[in-house]
């Protein structure tokens, strides 16, 4: 599996895991401050020791502040002030704490890498390393160079992990935005069609109605002709609106499945769809297309799904289609029942019940272990679908 395919399956869970890992490693590395603190307290009693402890604590605190904010994606202008203060503290530390402070030499390069952007981050990263090695130069240059190399590798690894978690978060937000834009674009398309159909005809109706009101009462034949034409325009408008709605409703199941897969995968949801039988009637295929769209809408609105499955089972003249997804959002105990009711019985799914009933089908849904499953039972053959539809119509 290539890198691009791995990133396609990235979901909210992966983003949270990457952020947690980056935060744990960033905070955990602060434990190395214990080593120079212990040495300073043992070697430099009095004012110098107190100053060294203050500087070491300030350096570690600034490192944690900038690192955690970078992991959470909350960088801002105040971080630049903290970074400047951290640089000043790092420049003063060699004179107060001696060479032992180099065990924290990774902190300043890491801070530059995760706080700044672009070339400034690269320049700050290497400039901080050069500054630390230069200030710590002493009678044992090999030890200083070894510590500098250790600082380089540690800072690069921590910065890479933090930046990777941030990029995954940005990728997830981008996919969610693309999914919302796809839904919005479809709504706009439908609105544009209605506007094009109704705009002109309604303007004509309004104008001719106004003119009809000005016709004198003694010119009744002319008034009748105007009213007849207005009536004809209104009927044509109604016919046009029905045609638009009919074209919107009579969806292609294959196109709907393809569109849903594209939207979900752009939102980071891995899709595994089984092939549907070719024996399904046109009415059943339209109902299933609506069901798939409703399931995808619920998934995007009410879950943090990473996987969406569509399975098909044939049982004689019946077909059972199940659409399931993980990532159902947990609710507080006092709201768990209401949340489950909303997820299982929303108004969109209620309309889906009616649509399936018209073709002799039914649907069931349930939540279990963080998975939401929508089960659709429909006629598998056109003859069976026609018979059930006719029977439903007779009962009505």
pLDDT by 10s per residue, the chain, length 396: 444 444 455 567 777 888 888 888 888 888 888 888 888 888 877 888 888 889 888 999 999 999 888 888 887 888 899 999 999 988 888 888 777 777 788 889 999 999 998 888 889 898 888 887 777 766 567 777 787 788 888 888 998 888 888 888 888 788 778 778 877 777 777 676 666 666 656 666 666 677 677 777 777 777 777 777 777 777 777 666 666 666 555 567 888 888 888 878 866 788 999 988 888 888 888 888 888 888 887 787 778 888 999 999 988 888 999 999 998 877 655 444 444 444 444 445 666 788 788 888 998 988 888 899 999 999 877 644 444 455 444 444
Return the half-sphere exposure (C-beta side, CA atoms, 13 A cut-off) of residue 217.
Answer: 0
Res 336: pLDDT? 42
Res 81: pLDDT? 92
Res 228: pLDDT? 76
Q: Which residues pair with 171 in a beta bridge?
A: none
Kindly report the number of other CB atoms within 10 A of residue 224's CB atom. Answer: 12
Edge to edge, what strands does the sheet with 318-325 contain?
270-273, 307-315, 318-325, 371-379, 362-368
Which tokens go with 252? Answer: 């292609």
335-347 per-position pLDDT tens digit: 444 444 444 444 4
Res 312: pLDDT? 92
Res 273: pLDDT? 92
* Predicted TM-score (pTM) of this structure: 0.50
Res 74: pLDDT? 82
Residue-range domain boundaries for the chain: 3-175, 181-249, 253-395
Smallest Cα–Cα separation from 261: which of 205, 216, 299, 204? 299
Q: Which residues pair with 322 in a beta bridge?
A: 311, 375
Which tokens go with 81? Answer: 């002030």
Which tokens go with 332? Answer: 């507080």
The Cα–Cα gap between 26 and 63 comes to 9
Between the alpha carbon of residue 137 and those of residues 66, 253, 307, the distances in Å are 27, 72, 55
Smallest Cα–Cα separation from 7: which of 169, 207, 241? 169
What number does CATH give the domain 181-249? 1.20.5
Are 274 and 377 spatial neighbours (Cβ–Cβ below 8 Å)? no
The Cα–Cα gap between 197 and 237 comes to 7
The Cα–Cα gap between 211 and 181 comes to 44
The Cα–Cα gap between 256 and 262 comes to 10
What number does CATH give the domain 253-395? 3.30.565.10
Q: If you count them, how many residues does the chain have?
A: 396
């Amino acid at each position: 599996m290539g890198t691009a395919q791995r990133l396609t399956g990235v979901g909210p869970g992966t983003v949270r895991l990457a952020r947690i890992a980056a935060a744990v490693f960033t905070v955990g590395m602060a434990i190395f401050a214990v080593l120079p603190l212990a040495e300073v307290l043992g070697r430099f009693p009095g004012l110098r020791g107190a100053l060294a402890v203050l500087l070491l604590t300030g350096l570690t605190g600034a490192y944690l502040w900038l690192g955690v904010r970078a992991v959470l994606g909350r960088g801002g202008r105040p971080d630049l002030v903290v970074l400047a203060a951290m640089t000043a503290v790092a420049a003063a530390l060699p004179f107060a704490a001696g060479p032992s402070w180099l065990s924290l030499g990774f902190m300043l390069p890491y801070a530059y890498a995760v706080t700044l952007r672009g070339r400034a981050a690269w320049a700050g990263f290497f400039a901080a390393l050069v500054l630390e090695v230069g200030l710590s130069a002493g009678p044992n240059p090999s030890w200083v160079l070894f510590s500098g190399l250790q600082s380089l590798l540690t800072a690069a690894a921590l910065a890479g992990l933090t930046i990777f978690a941030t990029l995954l978060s940005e990728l997830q937000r981008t996919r969610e935005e693309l999914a919302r834009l796809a839904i919005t674009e479809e709504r706009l398309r439908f609105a544009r069609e209605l506007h094009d159909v109704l705009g002109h005809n309604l303007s004509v109706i309004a104008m001719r109605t106004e003119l009809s009101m000005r016709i004198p009462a003694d010119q009744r034949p002319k008034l009748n002709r105007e009213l007849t034409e207005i009536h004809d325009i209104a009927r044509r408008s109604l016919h046009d609106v029905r045609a638009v709605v009919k074209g919107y409703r009579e969806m292609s199941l294959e196109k709907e499945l393809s569109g849903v897969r594209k939207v979900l995968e752009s939102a980071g949801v891995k899709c595994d769809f089984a092939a549907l039988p070719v024996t399904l009637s046109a009415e059943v295929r339209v109902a299933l297309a609506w069901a798939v769209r409703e399931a995808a809408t619920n998934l995007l609105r009410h879950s943090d799904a990473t996987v969406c499955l569509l399975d098909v089972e044939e049982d004689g003249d019946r077909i059972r289609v199940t659409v399931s997804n993980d990532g159902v959002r947990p609710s507080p105990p006092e709201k768990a029942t209401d949340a489950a009711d909303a997820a299982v019985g929303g108004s969109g799914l209620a309309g889906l019940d009616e649509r399936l009933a018209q073709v002799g089908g039914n649907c069931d849904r349930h939540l279990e272990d963080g998975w939401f499953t929508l089960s659709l039972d429909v006629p598998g053959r056109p003859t069976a679908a026609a018979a059930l539809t006719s029977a439903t119509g007779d009962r009505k």
